[in-house]
Amino acid sequence: MKKKPSEIAVTLFNLREHCKTEADFIRTLSLLKGMGYSTVQVSAVALDPAIIRKRLDEFGMFCCATHEGFDNLFYDAGAACDKLDILGCDFTALGAPPEQFRSQFAMKELAKRFNTMGKEFAKRGKMLAYHNHAFEFSRQGGDQVLLETFYQNTDPEFVKAELDVQWVARGGANPVTWIKKLAGRIHVIHFKDFTIVKNEPTFCEIGQGNLEWPEIVKACRDTKVKFFSIEQDQPFPGRDIFESMKISYDKMKELGFK
């Protein structure tokens, strides 16, 4: 019987400077495996997907998700699905939309594209999702925030959510509210924390910042989120990024994740 993959994932975007060559990638996977990680999200890794899969298999690791750029998803969906097949993965998300999709009208247009392409991905047994930042919590002259507009105009069957809880909070909204609002659409969620350093918001390890993790975890459990992908866009000042990944992993275990 195949072992169930760990629900604790690490987003390789965090370690992009340490995944540039195959040798770097092997070293990074070795370090992550030693910390306890066995699930990854492939993001910002430019290596051939076959090489990525080969090395993941060697370390007994599983890819739960990827991030792709706009052109890859909407102009070369077949290749994006082929990549997912190679990685043994069924979930991908748009990391961020181009600048032109930052108005109420444009967000509705983006939603139309997602509805169309989500059906194409579903035909291949894949899920297509949207990953948010903070700008989606602006109203841009409308009656609601852009993220609300996007999800109201997309079909839950074909367009999923990869909610980033830190960016929700940075946008002035409540992560718990949004987890509940998107119940049933969040297959993978981004767990990320931030604190204030020198009066500026600063990325940090899970549990080292200001997010209310017990409430966030409960909302995720109640809505049956499957994978929890740790993301930290930049190293915390004075701390090695690998040390940060270990701190976050240990906190996830403390919060009851397996």
Q: How many Å apart are CA 38 and CA 165, to the nearest integer?
A: 22
- Assess if residue 1 is contained within a domain: no
- What rounded mean pLDDT belongs to the chain? 97
- Assess if residue 231 is contained within a domain: yes
φ/ψ (deg, to 5) at 79: -65, -35
Listed residue (33, 167, 79) closest to 15, CA to CA: 33
- Assess if residue 57 is contained within a domain: yes
Q: Tell me the torsion sign for CA atoms 216, 218, 223, 228.
A: positive
Does the pLDDT of residue 243 top 60, yes or no? yes
pLDDT digits (tens, 9 = 90+) for 155-164: 999 999 999 9
**So what's the pLDDT on residue 4?**
86
Mean pLDDT, rounded, for 198-205: 98
Provide, rounded to the nearest whole percent, the portion of the chain with pLDDT above 90: 98
- How far is C-alpha 73 from the chain's CA centre? 16
Residues of the domain holding 126: 8-254
Q: How many Å apart are CA 152 and CA 149, to the nearest integer?
A: 5
- Assess if residue 3 is contained within a domain: no
Mean pLDDT, rounded, for 132-157: 97
pLDDT-derived band at 2 (thresholds 50, 70, 90) equals low
Mean pLDDT, rounded, for 110-134: 98
- Assess if residue 14 is contained within a domain: yes
φ/ψ (deg, to 5) at 189: -120, 145
Number of folded domains that form the chain = 1
Q: How many Å apart are CA 76 and CA 66, to the nearest integer?
A: 15
Does the pLDDT of residue 136 top 90, yes or no? yes
H or E stretch at 42: strand 39-42
Mean pLDDT, rounded, for 15-29: 98
What does the block give as tokens for 194?
């931030």
**So what's the pLDDT on residue 169?**
98
- Assess if residue 232 is contained within a domain: yes
Q: What pTM was estimated for this model as a whole? A: 0.97
- Assess if residue 2 is contained within a domain: no
Does the pLDDT of residue 1 top 60, yes or no? no
pLDDT digits (tens, 9 = 90+) for 45-102: 999 999 999 999 999 999 999 999 999 999 999 999 999 999 999 999 999 999 999 9
Q: How many Å apart are CA 146 and CA 130, to the nearest integer?
A: 13
- Assess if residue 233 is contained within a domain: yes
Residue 191 belongs to domain with CATH number: 3.20.20.150
Does the pLDDT of residue 111 top 90, yes or no? yes
